[in-house]
Amino acid sequence: MINLEVPRKFSALVNQARQVATEIFRPHSRRYDREEHSYPTELDMLAAVLDGMNASGESGAGATGVRRERSAGNGEVRNGNNLATVLGTIELCWGDVGLLLALPRQGLGNAAIASVANDEQLERFRGRWAAMAITEPDCGSDSAAIRTTAVLDGDHYVLNGEKIFVTSGERADAVVVWATLDRRRGRAAIKSFVVEKGTPGFELVRLEHKLGIRASDTAHFRLDNVRVPKENLLGSPEIDVERGFAGVMQTFDNTRPLVAAMAVGLARAALEETRRLLAEAGVTVDYDRPAHIQPAAAAALIAAEADWEAAYLLTLQAAWMADNHKPNSLQASMAKAKAGRVATEITLRCVELCGGLGYGEHTLLEKWARDAKILDIFEGTQQIQQLIVARRLLGKSSQELR
C-alpha cells in the first residue's frame, strides 16, 4: 500500500481530531441516529474548542473550508489549511459524519464564504454558522438550471424561489442561497447571497426524514420577496459572460475535497471494524501473501482497502493543489467521484462480509452503510462528477458534452 505520511506540522491536529471522534462522536453516534432532528448538545462545548483552535491558527479540525491562498511563486511547496481541513475531516468522520455536519459554525456555507467573500464580508460573517442552499425542486444535479431569482431594488436584492435539501438549514445562523440575476444570461448570472435567519419571507417549510446522517438536520425553505442587503452578495455583482459560472463554482473546488474526506473517513471506520470482526472469526488478512490464495473474505477486504487507498490519495492531491494555488477543479471532482463511490461500495461490502453482525445494530456497520450514500450524492452526484471529469480531460464545454 502507498500510504503517505501525515505532515509533521499536522500531527497534533490529527491526534486531536481522532480524540474527538473517539470520545465524543463515536459514543453518541447511535443515539442521534435514532433521535433524528434532536440537537446534539454535546457539540456546543466542542464548537467552542474548535473556535479557539481556528483563532489561534490551528485550523483544520472542522468542516469550514478555507480561503485559497497564493503560494510564494518561487517553487515553494505548501501544506496549508486545505490539507489540514481534509485530514481533520477524515478523522472526525471516522467517528460520525452526521455529527460533523451538525457542528456549529462548520457548515458548507462557511466554505462558500471562505472561498469567495471579500475581506469586509469575511470579517462581518466571522463566527456565524452558515448553511448552503443550491438544490431546488426543479433543479437537482444541474446547478446551472437554478430558478430562484434575485432582483436589485435600491440597496437590496429581492429573492424569490424554493430551496430543498439544505444541510443544517434549521440550526444555522444564515444560509448562502444561490440565485440568478437574469435567467436569460444563463450560468454567468448565478450568484450566491448570504441570507440571515429571521429575514421576513424566508420560511422553513419542513425538515426531511432521511436514510442516513440523521444527526444533521436537512431543511426545505421558501423565499417569498426576501430582501437581502446588496452587501450580502458574495463576489462580484457583475454578470461576466466570459468568466461565466467560475466564481460561484469555485466553492465546489473547496467543498468537494471535504466531502471526499468525509467518505474516506467513514470507509476507513468500516474497514477497521470489519478487519476486527473477521479476526475474531479466525480470518486473518496476510498482506505478504497473494490475495487469491487467502480466504475469500480476506481477499475481498484487501481489494476494498486498495480502492480506499486510491480515494485517500486523490483527496490529498485535490487539497494539496488548492493549498499551492493550482487549478484543482478536475482533481476535486475525481476525488469526490472516487471517494463517494468507494464509501458506498466498501460499507455495503463490509455489511455483507460480517453477516448478521453487519446487518443488525450490534455494530455501527449498518449505520455507516446508510450514512455513506449521501456522500455519493451531495455536492454533485457520481454521474455529474464523471461528466465534469470527461469535459476537463476532453476539453469540451458543457454545451458540447452534456
251 touches 113 (CB < 8 A): no
User: 42 catalytic, yes or no?
Assistant: no
DSSP code of residue 67: -
Q: What is the dihedral of CA 193, 196, 199, 205, to 10 degrees?
A: 90
Strands (E), 168-268: 174-180, 190-196, 202-207, 218-229, 233-234
Choice among 23, 273, 379, 400 that is catalytic: 379
Q: What angle do CA 381, 245, 377 make, to 5 degrees?
A: 10
CA distance 261 to 244: 28
Residue 228, beta-bridge partner list: 157
**Cell numbers for 90:** 477524515
Q: Of 58, 163, 60, 147, nearest to 111 (Cα)?
A: 60
101 touches 62 (CB < 8 A): no
Q: Of 255, 268, 253, 319, nearest to 84 (Cα)?
A: 319
CA distance 367 to 269: 11
CA distance 48 to 147: 37
174-180 vs 190-196, strand pairing mode: antiparallel
Distance in Å from the first CA to the final CA of the chain: 37
Residue 157, beta-bridge partner list: 152, 228
Half-sphere exposure of 132 (CA within 13 A, CB side): 26
DSSP code of residue 7: P
φ/ψ (deg, to 5) at 194: -90, 115
Catalytic residue set? 379
